[in-house]
């Protein structure tokens, strides 16, 4: 079987996963509909095919993870995406979250610091479907000044602090959804940028993310010799 095939079994499991997310409190049907349209199993190793629709994070390569569906739904719901909005994502990883944003019609700019993971984006299987999704290799703490300002920003790794350069690249009235804190748990914050450059803060649930690290990483450093 082609691992990218989206079978009736996958579709059925996906629909059940959307019910699980509804039960856990996700109420934005546009977000659930977008996630229901995306075959999550195609974003992970075929070894996980049978469990791809459980509400769990899974390992991808380079010690990184594909976020738990609940977390993806939660962050996306907080972003309140409207069509054609410019959205910056930090932490491309498996490309699943970026695809959910693209499916919602956003213009997505996603950055990954791990060369290996960035290189995989060249084989992105839905490339022809989402012309509104662009990949960048770089340090998310720097953002993408050339493409700024952004309507929305989503950070999908644990930020040790609120990155000042990213805040600068946010439009006035726009918001950033960011899990902040070092350690095992992060507080999910939504920061709305005010006209005077300050921001207002809303606090949500705790989540657990892999760390947001500074600088770019080259895959060579991670290979065993």
List the catalytic residues. Answer: 67
Is 38 an interacting residue with respect to ligand SAH (CB under 6 A)? no
Which of 158, 122, 119 shows the shortest CA–CA distance to 140?
A: 158
150-155 and 170-180: which strand pairing? parallel
Q: Does 64 bind ligand SAH (CB under 6 A)?
A: yes
Residues ≥6 apart with Cβ < 8 Å to 69: 17, 21, 35, 40, 55
Report H helices in 83-130.
96-103, 115-120
Q: How many CB atoms lie within 10 A of CB 132?
A: 18
**Which one among 117, 177, 178, 180 touches ligand SAH, defined by CB under 6 A?**
117
Stretch that binds ligand SAH, among 11-19, 21-29, 59-67, 172-180 (CB under 6 A): 59-67
Residue 96, interface with ligand SAH (CB under 6 A)? yes
Q: Where are the beta strands (DSSP E) in the chain?
A: 58-59, 65-66, 86-90, 107-112, 133-137, 150-155, 170-180, 186-193, 199-207
Smallest gap from residue 156 Cβ to ligand SAH (A): 4
Strand intervals (E) in 24-169: 58-59, 65-66, 86-90, 107-112, 133-137, 150-155
Instruction: Give the one residue of 76, 97, 169, 186 binding ligand SAH; rule: CB under 6 A.
Output: 97
Is residue 75 involved in binding ligand SAH (CB under 6 A)? no
Q: Which of 39, 69, 140, 174 binds ligand SAH (CB under 6 A)?
A: 140
- Segment lying near ligand SAH (by CB under 6 A), choices 23-31, 123-131, 137-145, 183-191: 137-145
* Sole window of 21-29, 177-185, 188-196, 207-215 interacting with ligand SAH (rule: CB under 6 A): 207-215
**Chain residues 156-195 in contact with ligand SAH, contact rule CB under 6 A:** 156-157
Strands across the sheet containing 199-207: 133-137, 107-112, 86-90, 150-155, 170-180, 186-193, 199-207
Tokens at residue 182, please? 């070092």
Q: Is 213 in the site for ligand SAH (CB under 6 A)?
A: yes
Q: Which residue among 17, 18, 32, 111 contacts ligand SAH (CB under 6 A)?
A: 111
Q: Which stretch binds ligand SAH (CB under 6 A): 5-13, 22-30, 61-69, 176-184?
A: 61-69
Q: Which residues bind to ligand SAH, rule: CB under 6 A? A: 64-67, 90-91, 93-94, 96-97, 111-114, 117, 139-141, 156-157, 210, 212-213
């Amino acid at each position: 079987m082609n691992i990218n095939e989206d079978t009736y079994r996958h579709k059925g499991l996906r629909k059940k996963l959307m019910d699980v997310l509804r039960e856990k409190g996700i109420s934005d049907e546009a977000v659930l509909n977008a996630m229901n349209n995306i075959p999550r199993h195609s974003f992970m190793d075929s070894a996980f095919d049978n469990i791809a629709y459980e509400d769990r994070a899974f390992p991808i390569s380079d010690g990184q993870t594909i976020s738990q569906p609940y977390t993806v739904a939660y962050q996306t719901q907080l972003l309140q995406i409207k069509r054609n909005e410019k959205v910056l994502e930090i932490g491309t990883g498996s490309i699943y979250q970026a695809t959910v944003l693209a499916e919602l019609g956003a213009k997505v700019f996603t950055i990954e610091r791990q060369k290996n993971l960035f290189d995989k984006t060249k084989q992105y299987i839905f490339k022809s479907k989402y012309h509104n999704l662009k990949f960048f290799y770089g340090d998310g703490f720097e953002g993408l000044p050339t493409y700024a300002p952004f309507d929305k920003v989503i950070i999908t790794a644990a930020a040790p602090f609120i990155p000042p350069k990213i805040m600068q690249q946010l439009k006035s009235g726009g918001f950033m959804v960011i899990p902040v804190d070092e350690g095992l748990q992060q507080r999910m914050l939504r920061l709305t940028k005010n006209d005077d450059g300050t921001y207002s803060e809303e606090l949500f649930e705790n989540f657990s993310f892999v760390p947001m690290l500074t600088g770019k990483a080259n895959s060579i450093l991670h290979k065993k010799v």
